[in-house]
Amino acid sequence: MSYLDLFCNYIQCRERLNNKAVITSCSHAFCMHHGNQILSNELMCPACKTPLNKNKYDLTCADLNPSEDFRSMILAGLRPEIIIDIAHRAISFWSYQIHMENMYHIIQYQEWKKKHSELQQVHETWKNNHKIKINHLQQRVADLEKQLQYQAKISEELQQKLHEKNREHTTTLQKFTSLKHRQLSESAKFSMLQDQHPVGNTKNNIDIYSLEKNSEFFAVPSSLPGFHIGSVPRHKKLHCVRTTIIEPHSLFQDGDKTCKKKTSTKINRK
Residue 259 belongs to some domain of the structure:
yes
CB-CB contact of 97 with 6 (8 Å): yes
- Most confident range (mean pLDDT) of 134-138, 222-226, 248-252, 255-259 is 134-138
pLDDT top residue among 205 and 130 = 130
Residue 27 belongs to some domain of the structure:
yes
Residue 122 belongs to some domain of the structure:
no
Residue 231 belongs to some domain of the structure:
yes
Residue 95 belongs to some domain of the structure:
no
Domain boundary among 34, 65, 96: 65
Give the pLDDT mean for 85-103.
91
- Total tally of structural domains belonging to the chain: 2
Domain boundary among 46, 65, 84: 65
CB-CB contact of 31 with 22 (8 Å): yes
Domain boundary among 43, 65, 87: 65
Residue 121 belongs to some domain of the structure:
no
| 96 vs 86: CA distance, rounded Å | 15
3-state SS, residue 7: strand
3-state SS, residue 6: strand
Q: Please write the tens of the pLDDT for every residue from 201-232.
A: 444 444 444 444 444 434 444 444 444 444 44
Query: What is the rounded radius of gyration, in angstroms, for the C-alpha atoms of the chain?
Result: 63
The domain of 238 spans: 199-270
pLDDT of amino acid 187: 85
Give the pLDDT mean for 7-33.
89
Expressed in percent and rounded to 5, the helix, strand and coil fractions of the chain are 50, 20, 30
| 187 vs 263: CA distance, rounded Å | 11
CATH number reported for the structural domain that contains residue 31 in this entry = 3.30.40.10
Residue 33 belongs to some domain of the structure:
yes
Give the pLDDT mean for 145-160.
94
Residue 54 belongs to some domain of the structure:
yes
